[in-house]
Amino acid sequence: MLDKAAVKEIASITGKNGYSVSLYLNVDPMFNKKGDYMVHFKNMTKSAIETLDKAVYKTVKGDLEKIENYVLSNKRMFKKGLILFSSRDNSFWREYHLGIPVRNELIVDKTPYTNPLMTVLDNYEKYGILLVDKESARIFLVHLGEIVEYSEIHTAEIPGKHKKGGWFALSQNHYERHIDFHVGLHLKDVIDRLDIFLNSKDVKRLIIGGSDEAVSMVKSRLHKTIVEKMIGQVKVEMFAKTDEVMKRVEPVVTAFEKRQSDEAVEFLVTKTLKNEGAVLGLDNVMNALQEQRVMKLIILKGYRSNGFNCKTCGFLTAQKIEPCPYCKGEIEPVDYIVSLAGEKAIQQGALVEVVAENKKLQDAGGIGAFLRF
């Protein structure tokens, strides 16, 4: 999983001999209607080869070939963003498939180019998952569409496992109190471990899974700071496989992100009406993109529109204009201008959020943006 420890590892090869090639490629199907990412990749590679010193190119030629082979032969693994690092001189290779699009960049340098990774880590939610029962617990981290099991906790010697003798020989009330005491110690240990996990991984959202009884018991013992991070609970068997855990928590995450999206749209509409750093509608968004003012683009899922694109400079417009007002180039009609707008926003370093089923955004034109200035 991509995290700050991974970024630190990637950056650790700084100062060693040789060069590195860093590739960030937007492979999101929404913004690559015709498999355009391959065209972008080849153009970036061509540009790099033309500008590199011959000695440097000779050093990284094998890296560029390895990356190209990977892009060509691993399409089925692609999600929305692909990040590759290659340095044959340092015997170094890393690959990341992200659930978010990234800005297209190919950088050749003596150190891997990691700045975009920090932006990704800082701008997208992390979700902690706690599965718990009276004897065990499992903690997971969900981030950028991936789930990883962080730790497993098992408290041995919880009373009640012996068929005769031992604690069963005690009075029933005494026996039950003893069990409750040990369960309480177990849950205290779980909560302490959970607190360390949430703080060390900077996790702001939490989902708890297990039986109703187990979830209720652990919730009653949580610190206020942890309770404030809870966004829901699910029923999941303690022995469930990682994929099954992800499947169970996805509806909770989707519902939470839907609420956040609705709030963002409400804020977008309000800011636009007040003329305070936001715009709505395709024409206004195209103008803001041309001026490189878009900080965050919000698009209604499924929204499509025809428009026009300059074949030379990439100018986008919803209105037919000939020739291009910026470079006098040829204007061509396109039936996927919304996808091109999203791609352009990403290239300008803007965040892009796709919103599902929002009537306010639909009524406002299906697209809008928060502006930088």
Tell me, what's the pLDDT at 162?
Answer: 46
Would you say residue 156 lies in a domain?
yes
> 352 and 313 in one domain?
yes
Tell me, what's the pLDDT at 287?
Answer: 94
> 362 and 276 in one domain?
yes
H helices, E strands: number in the chain = 11, 16
Q: Quick: pLDDT tens for 85-113.
A: 999 988 999 999 998 899 999 999 988 99
Look up residue 303 and give its amino acid.
Y
> 89 and 60 in one domain?
yes
> 358 and 277 in one domain?
yes
Would you say residue 247 lies in a domain?
no
- pTM for the model stands at 0.78
Tell me, what's the pLDDT at 6?
Answer: 86
- Work out the number of other CB atoms within 10 angstroms of the CB of residue 175: 16
Q: Quick: pLDDT tens for 122-135.
A: 788 999 999 999 88
| 245 pLDDT higher than 80 | yes
The confidence band for 156, taking pLDDT boundaries of 50, 70 and 90, is: low
Judge contact between 269 and 261, C-beta under 8 A.
no
Would you say residue 69 lies in a domain?
yes
| 212 pLDDT higher than 50 | yes
- Work out the number of other CB atoms within 10 angstroms of the CB of residue 49: 13
> 111 and 90 in one domain?
yes
Structural domain ending residue among the three candidates 82, 108, 123: 123
User: Which CATH number does the domain housing residue 179 bear?
Assistant: 3.30.420.60
Q: Which helix (H) or strand (E) holds 54?
A: helix 54-73
pLDDT more than 70, % of the chain = 92
Structural domain ending residue among the three candidates 240, 271, 304: 240
Tell me, what's the pLDDT at 163?
Answer: 46
> 264 and 340 in one domain?
yes
Q: Quick: pLDDT tens for 168-199.
A: 454 555 545 545 666 778 899 999 999 999 99
User: Which CATH number does the domain housing residue 111 bear?
Assistant: 3.30.960.10
Range of the domain at 312: 258-371
User: Which CATH number does the domain housing residue 335 bear?
Assistant: 3.30.1330.30
Enter the tokens of residue 61: 């030629």
> 218 and 145 in one domain?
yes
Structural domain ending residue among the three candidates 123, 157, 191: 123
> What residue has token string 């590195």?
20
What is d(CA 160, CA 178) in angstroms, rounded to the nearest whole number? 10
- Work out the number of other CB atoms within 10 angstroms of the CB of residue 153: 18
Counting the structural domains of the chain, the total is: 3
Would you say residue 252 lies in a domain?
no
